[in-house]
A and B are shown apart, each in its own frame.
Chain A
Amino acid sequence: MSGLGLNHFLVLAALLFATGVLCVTLRRNAIGLLIGVELMLNAANVNLVAFHRWHGNVDGAVFAVFVIMLAAAEAAVALSIVLHVFHHAASISTDDYTEMKG
């Protein structure tokens, strides 16, 4: 562990989070957007686990396990809804979801 400290993990998490945000804002594809969300959730997980080691209490690791579970649930819910939308719009591009405006 020498030379590898808390800050390295925090920088990694921040970069991962930034990548996720970029992915969410730039992608015009519903699946791509959800992948971006996964990156953001996992950035938070890296933070939580790094802080768990740093503080020496178990809370961060437990939270990370719960987040992994939640991410799975979220993917199931989100993908089923995207499939449902695709059924009507025949497209997964978020630009085509424009039935309602104003």
Chain B
Amino acid sequence: MTPLLPLLAQEAGKLSWDRMPSPGRIAPELFLCLWAVVILVVDLVRGKGSWKHFTTLSLVGCAIAFALAVFTAPGNDAVGYGVGSGGVGALTPDAISRFFKLIFLATGFLTVLFMRRSADAYAREPELHVILFGALAGACYLAGASELIGFYLAFEMVSYTGFLLAGYRVDDPKSAEAGGKFVMFGAVSSAVMLFGLSLVYGATGSMQFADIAKALASQDASPALLVASVFVFAGFAFKAAAFPMQFWCPDVYEGAPAPVAMFLAVASKAAVFSAAIRVLMLGPVTDTAPTLTQLLPHGATVTQTILIFASAATMCWGNFAALRQTNLQRMLAYSSIAHAGYLLMTAAVVVPGAQSGRDAVSAMLFSFVIYLVMSAAAFYVVTVMRRDAGTAEVGALRGFAAKHPLFAACFALVLFSLTGLPPTAGFIAKLQLFQPVVGEGHFVLAAIGLLNGAVSLYFYAKPIGLMYLASEGPPERTPAPNGTDRTILAVLSAPLLVLGLLWWDSILEFAQTAVAAGRNP
């Protein structure tokens, strides 16, 4: 046992500018933090400018960060404190994390765009954009985290900003309730996860993922480690809205503003999967990251069993509960739970270090891209509905196709894609997700997944039936998309058809390249 102060002095002695190299490698994160401050300052000095300037400023910020992420070369060495001791540190911005960053930033761009189109009171607050940039920065850090402190800080950065965004509609009791429920369940689950992390540190004596993996590989299972792994899984499951921690999701997504619900469904979920993929896929003993497999006492089988049951329960719960929903936004929340189930299904069959494991991870990355497009398009329809009709009830779409044939056709295409019907991109994404599951011989799990796909057709078909077959409702309760709305929805839904037929393999190749080049697949 050594006293703290000499230890700190010793550690501080290691800090020097040489050991903090290349801040350029985390340029997107740094830029996002900077841009949040810029928005705040502009708000202070602007006087009485139009609120739309802010959304323009945010859109530009997201676009610049996206470009920075594209042009920042990924690498497998760590950035930051601790560099030099075998290439480990707080952050490792590798190719996989870059792929996720592009997803987050595209989602951020669309969220801001939708807020602008919603023209609601909440969207006029510059603070909302500051919080959103905080969430984006946290998600980008999380995708590259390779050390426990950085991982937990980034995880909480995404969580806290999510709580605030969900409760941002000041005039709406539902939004307040969504924020309240989110913050209470979220605070408890993150405290549980932190306790698990403290036990992991106790068992291994290190915060670096790489050292934790080495330490875990050389010791036997203990009850403390079992508790730690269950607690950590609970934290992940909460953010991913996976069974048995999915109960908060429908309430929060229904109460939150529609663009924010989209952000939570795509970016927040992708962020937690980006961290989970690191923990899951990363390989056996000698490799440089720990696996859930190693955290659990009986090795791979226990982890796999937990994940298989969680995935089956998650997709069944999501799809069957969605059947009786009449609120479109709530239905999409259940749909996002179901999609988390499909992703978990693929995650369950990841074999660390093997080629099949790599394929499964690339399938997950690929399906995130498609899911981003589908969700964005679907939530855009909800945004328009809430703006024009003041409701997200499916009934508002009654006879909608007669007046707005293009908008209705695009929405129908999006719903078909969410179901996973050919020839849409949703079908390709499902196919990619199922392939590793069947390849590894989990036929029962794949069958449950297929059955769920069939069930989901019923609730996705409900809006389509109302739009095309029902007689028209009162005009003041029907959404009235204008030219810009039609363009946005068409631009979002066209890729679903194009990628479903033609160029999906180039995206898949991009994902495969990222996984192959990424840290320790």
A interface residue numbers (CB < 8 A to B): 10, 13, 17, 20, 24, 30, 33-34, 36-37, 40-41, 43-45, 47-48, 50-63, 66-67, 70, 73-74, 77-78, 81-82, 84-85, 87-89, 94, 97, 99-102
Q: A51-B201, A66-B153 are in contact. Are A84 and B167 (CB under 8 A)?
A: yes
> How far is B330's CA from A61's CA once the two chains are assembled, in angstroms?
43
Q: Which residues of A contact B11 (CB under 8 A)?
A: 58
B8: interface (CB < 8 Å): yes
Chain B positions within 8 Å of A, measured between CB atoms, are: 1-2, 4, 7-8, 10-11, 148-149, 152-153, 156, 160, 163-164, 167, 170, 173-174, 176-181, 183-184, 187-188, 191-192, 194-195, 197-199, 201-202, 205-207, 250-251, 254-255, 321, 324-325, 330
Interface of B is mostly: helix
**In contact, B191 and A54 (Cβ under 8 angstroms):** no
Q: Which 8 A-B pairs have the closest CB atoms?
A: A40-B191, A47-B198, A88-B173, A55-B205, A85-B180, A51-B202, A59-B207, A44-B194
A88 to B176 alpha-carbon distance, docked (Å): 7
Measured between beta carbons, the chain A residues less than 8 angstroms from B148 are 59, 63
Interface pair B199/A77, CB less than 8 Å apart: no
| Inter-chain contacts of A33 with B (CB < 8 A) | 184, 188
A48 contacts across to B, CB distance below 8 A: 198, 201
Smallest distance from the beta carbon of B226 to chain A beta carbons, Å?
A: 14
Please report the C-alpha to C-alpha distance between residue A40 and residue B235 in the assembled complex, in whole angstroms. 14
Whether the pair A63, B201 counts as a contact (CB closer than 8 A) is yes
Cα–Cα distance between A16 and B195 once the two chains are bound (Å) = 11
Is there contact, CB below 8 Å, between A58 and B4?
yes
Closest to B254 in A: A100
Given contacts A99-B174, A100-B255, contact A53 B1 (CB under 8 A): yes
- Given contacts A85-B176, A88-B177, A89-B176, is CB(A47)–CB(B195) below 8 Å? yes
Q: How far is the CA of A43 from the CA of B173 in the complex (A)?
A: 34
Evaluate contact between A74 and B201: CB separation under 8 angstroms: no
Residues of A within 8 A of B2 (CB): 56
CB pair B163–A81 under 8 Å, yes or no, is yes
Q: Is the CB of A62 within 8 A of B149?
A: yes
Q: Would you call B324 and A97 a contact (CB within 8 A)?
A: no
- Cα(A61)–Cα(B321), bound, Å: 45
Interchain CB contact under 8 A, A56 and B7: yes
Tell whether A100 pairs with B251 under 8 Å between CB atoms, given A47-B195, A85-B180, A88-B177.
yes
Cα(A57)–Cα(B215), bound, Å? 15
Query: Which of A24, A30, A73 has the most chain B CB atoms inside 10 A of its CB?
Result: A24
